[in-house]
Each structure stands twice: as C-alpha cells, then as structure tokens.
C-alpha cells in the first residue's frame, strides 16, 4: 500500500533544489564583477585662475614633559613600529578633539644607541626634549623651553694665565758707590737672575760708609755689604751681625803712599798725614801694619776722607791713604797727576781675608734662610757668567750703570773679576779663625769669638 506522505517529500525536495539554483544564479554576476579590475582613477582638472596659492597651516604639538623628570627616567628601548603607530593615532585624535584638525604630530625619535645608561659620546647626562622645527613663535615651545635645564658647556676661550707667586723683597745697602766690586749683585739683577728665583732686590748707596751695618743691626735693611775686618770689630762690640755670603774673596784694602822715593816701608810712617775712609782702617788695619815696626797709631796724623779720597789727597796734602779700594783708587789719583805706590797688607803680616762680604742680622737670619740661599745661587750664576764672558759683562755694566763707565773702573775690571767669589755661600772658617785670633792676640778685640758666631755657610748640607 503506497505511502500517503511520499508525494509531499518529493515536492519539498524539488522546492529546495529550485531555491538553491536561484541563489547560485544570483551570486554569479557578483563574482564576475569582483574579479574584474577596478576602473582607472580619474583626476578632475582643477580650475586655473589668478587666486593666490593657499598655505596649509601646520601646528606641531609637543607634549610638556619636565626636563628634570625626563632626565631621571631610565632610558627605555626603542618602541616597536606598532607602538609608535598607536601612539601617533592617539595623539592625533587628541589634537583633533582640541580643534586642530590639520595638526600633524611627529613621534619623538628613539634614543640613539649608547652605553648602558643610554648616553652616547659627547652627550650630557641631562637631556632635553627635541626642539620642533620653526616653532620659535609657538607658545607651547616657549612654555617647554622654560622647563629645560641647560647642561654643562665646553669653554672655547683660552684660560687666563696663572699669576706668578709674589716676589720676596730684599733691600741690600752697598758699602760704597756701585763699582766693579759689586759686579755679582749688579749683573744678577740686570740679567733677571734674581727675579727668576722669586726675589726683588733693591740696592741702595749709603751717605756714609759707616751706616750700612749700623742700619742692619737696627733692622732698617735686610742685608748690608761689608768687609771681613769690620765684621770682627763690630761683633766684638756686640752688634748682632753674621756673615752669610762672599762677593770678593781676596783683600781689597791697601795703603797707597805718595811715590816720592822717601817712604819705602811702614817703618817710615811715623809723623805722616794718612787718610782713611772706613772704621776698620783706623781701628784694625793701620795698628796691625804699624805694630811690628814699633809704631802706635797715635804717632800718625789721621784724616777722615770718607768718599773723597782723591780730593782730600790733593787738598790736604796727604802722604798716603788706607783705602778699601786699592784697585781703582790708584788709577783715579793718577788721572789727576798724583803718582802712588801700593803697600799690600798681606805682604806685611796681615792674613788674607775676604775683601767684600754680605752681612745679615743674626736675630732675623733664621727667617731669611730660604731667600738667602736663592740670592747666593743667583750670585754664583752671575759670577760664572761674567768669568765666561768678561767683555759682555763689562758692556752690560757700562750700559746699565753709566756712572761706572770710567777709565779707572775699566782698568780695574779684569783684576776685580778674578777676585770675585765663584762660591759665594762657602765660608772659610779657618781663615776667619786665624784673623780673629790675630786681632785678639794684638789686643784689638776683647773677646775671642768662634767662627760659628761670625758667619754661617748656607751652602753646607
């Protein structure tokens, strides 16, 4: 018996097939259209007129980030492309919401590769946000620049020159007018040897030959130029003096007598008019010269000639003069027509002694030791230079000390140069002891002073 529901099923299947075919037929045109190439882009012609070109106004927004907080943040790795793109979109949306639809926001560039701290060579530790281009008139840029601290700068100007240390001042009073016997001091000063050692030396001339050591004992000057015989005499009298250097190491004192053919020896000096210019000539040297011949100082008529030996020799009719300048005085007397002959003291029982020395105040010498060492080093250099170049040394003295350029000084230059001390700091302790013992033995000084109290050797270790 046939199933009554069978025709209904067949009808339903046929209906479904019909709907499927209709659906497929409707999709076929869409597929063919999608497979076709898109039509070409047609760009319409813009109208060409005389209207001025329009300028697109662009505003660059820079996020306000405090510089100090940014410097303290640890540098992060460069953001990925997706992160940078998302950041750009978000910033653009905020700008459009603020009313600047045409704003263009550029993301900050990633930090350059550097050391572990994120700094590259030549960068400052504290960085600042990158400045936008052409944003000098932007209020946002002005606000941001106030928050940025400038880092350290490289100074391109040369540094100021260092000032040399202050010079140590020393005032030295000479024993006489400047002459060849002072060559070491004068050349050291004129050649800059003193200044190179930090010394500023002032040389002064006394109005009286007896003043230098007395002013030194009173603390009025730093050093004085004197003579060894005078030092023995003044130390015995209690003056606080001490020898610290030697300028001329051979005797300069001598007795100049008229060359009249009568006086041949000190034994013929009794009753003669003899001039003197320094204290030790009257108190020490003449008595030492006369004692072996049985003559006392009171048997001579003594005349103080001070600095005027030549004029006094003529004006007062002197028979001779005891002078501390035996090398130059004979020439000056000869220039005015007075012929003399020299009695050298060391040939008549007076020991060799230093002709010219530097004397300091014993109470102040402890604080002067360093400056005195530098002074003596300069004097040694000046003497060595003069011995190597005698003509150049005299030319320098004649140029810088015009009053010295006389016939007498020119004649005395070479003999004086050979007497200059090459080691001004060294002290002949034995020679000082012998001279002190002779003076004490002859009764010319009261107390026998040891050499260590008479002088010091600043060159000794």
- Summarize pLDDT for 195-230 with one digit per residue, the tens: 999 999 999 999 888 899 999 999 999 999 999 999
**What is the rounded CA–CA span in Å between residue 202 and residue 170?**
6
Say if residue 436's pLDDT is above 90. Answer: yes
Percent of the chain topping pLDDT 90: 58
pLDDT of 220: 96
Q: Which residue in the block uniquely carries the two structure tokens 């700094």?
A: 119
Best-predicted range by mean pLDDT among 27-41, 149-163, 210-224?
A: 210-224
Question: pTM score, two decimals?
Answer: 0.66
Say if residue 342's pLDDT is above 90. Answer: yes
Percent of the chain topping pLDDT 70: 68
More confident residue, 8 or 60: 8
pLDDT of 412: 95
Say if residue 302's pLDDT is above 70. Answer: yes
**What is the rounded CA–CA span in Å between residue 432 and residue 451?**
6
pLDDT of 119: 46
Say if residue 282's pLDDT is above 50. Answer: yes
pLDDT of 307: 84
- Region 332-351 average pLDDT: 92
pLDDT of 57: 55
pLDDT band at 49 (very low <50, low <70, confident <90, very high): low
Best-predicted range by mean pLDDT among 83-87, 96-100, 402-406?
A: 402-406
- Region 280-298 average pLDDT: 94
- Region 307-327 average pLDDT: 91
**What is the rounded CA–CA span in Å between residue 403 and residue 178?**
8
pLDDT of 160: 72
- Region 173-193 average pLDDT: 96
pLDDT band at 116 (very low <50, low <70, confident <90, very high): very low
pLDDT of 35: 47
**What is the rounded CA–CA span in Å between residue 361 and residue 240?**
6
More confident residue, 164 or 118: 164
**The token pair that represents 412 in the structure block:** 């005395």
Q: Backbone phi, then psi, for 323, in 5-degree steps?
A: -125, 145
pLDDT of 45: 57
Say if residue 113's pLDDT is above 80. Answer: no
More confident residue, 400 or 11: 400
* Short-list 289, 293, 273, CA closest to 281: 289
**What is the rounded CA–CA span in Å between residue 140 and residue 285?**
100
pLDDT band at 38 (very low <50, low <70, confident <90, very high): low
Say if residue 78's pLDDT is above 70. Answer: no
pLDDT band at 41 (very low <50, low <70, confident <90, very high): low
**What is the rounded CA–CA span in Å between residue 417 and residue 304?**
29
Return the axis-axis angle of helices 369-388 and 390-400, rounded to nearest 10°: 120
């Amino acid at each position: 018996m046939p199933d009554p529901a069978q025709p209904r099923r067949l009808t339903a299947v046929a209906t479904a097939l019909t709907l499927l075919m209709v659906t497929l037929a409707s999709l076929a045109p869409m597929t063919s259209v999608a497979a076709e190439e898109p039509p070409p882009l047609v760009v319409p012609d813009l109208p060409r007129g005389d209207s001025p070109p329009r300028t697109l106004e662009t505003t660059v927004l820079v996020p306000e980030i405090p510089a100090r907080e940014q410097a303290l943040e640890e540098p992060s790795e460069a953001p990925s492309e997706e992160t940078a793109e998302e950041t750009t979109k978000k910033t653009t949306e905020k700008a459009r919401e603020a009313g600047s639809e045409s704003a263009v926001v550029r993301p900050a560039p990633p930090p350059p590769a550097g050391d572990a701290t994120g700094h590259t060579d030549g960068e400052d530790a504290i960085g600042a946000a990158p400045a936008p281009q052409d944003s000098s008139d932007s209020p946002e840029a002005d606000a941001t620049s106030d928050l940025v601290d400038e880092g350290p700068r490289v100074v391109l100007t040369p540094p100021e020159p260092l000032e040399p240390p202050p010079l140590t001042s020393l005032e030295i009073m000479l024993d006489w007018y400047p002459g060849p016997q002072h060559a070491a001091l004068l050349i050291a000063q004129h050649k800059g040897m003193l200044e190179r050692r930090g010394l500023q030396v002032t040389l002064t001339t006394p109005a009286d030959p007896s003043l230098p050591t007395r002013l030194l004992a009173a603390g009025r000057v730093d050093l004085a130029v004197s003579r060894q015989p005078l030092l023995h005499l003044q130390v015995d009298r209690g003056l606080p003096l001490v020898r610290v250097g030697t300028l001329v190491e051979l005797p300069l004192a001598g007795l100049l007598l008229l060359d009249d053919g009568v006086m041949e020896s000190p034994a013929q000096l009794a009753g003669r008019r003899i001039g003197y210019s320094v204290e030790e000539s009257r108190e020490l040297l003449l008595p030492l010269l006369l004692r072996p011949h049985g003559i006392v100082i009171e048997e001579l008529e003594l005349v103080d000639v001070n600095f005027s030996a030549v004029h006094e020799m003529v004006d007062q009719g002197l028979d001779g003069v005891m002078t501390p300048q035996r090398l130059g005085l004979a020439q000056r007397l000869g220039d005015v027509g007075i012929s003399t002959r020299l009695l050298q003291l060391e040939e008549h029982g007076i020991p060799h002694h230093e002709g010219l020395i530097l004397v300091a105040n014993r109470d102040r010498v402890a604080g002067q030791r360093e400056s005195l060492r530098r002074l003596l080093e300069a004097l040694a250099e000046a003497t060595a230079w003069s011995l190597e170049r005698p003509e150049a040394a005299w030319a320098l003295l004649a140029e810088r000390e015009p009053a010295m350029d006389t016939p007498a000084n020119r004649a005395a230059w070479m003999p004086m140069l050979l007497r200059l001390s090459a080691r001004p700091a060294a002290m002949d302790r034995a020679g000082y002891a012998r001279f002190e013992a002779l003076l004490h033995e002859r009764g010319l000084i009261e107390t026998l002073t040891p050499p260590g109290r008479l002088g010091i050797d600043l060159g000794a270790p």
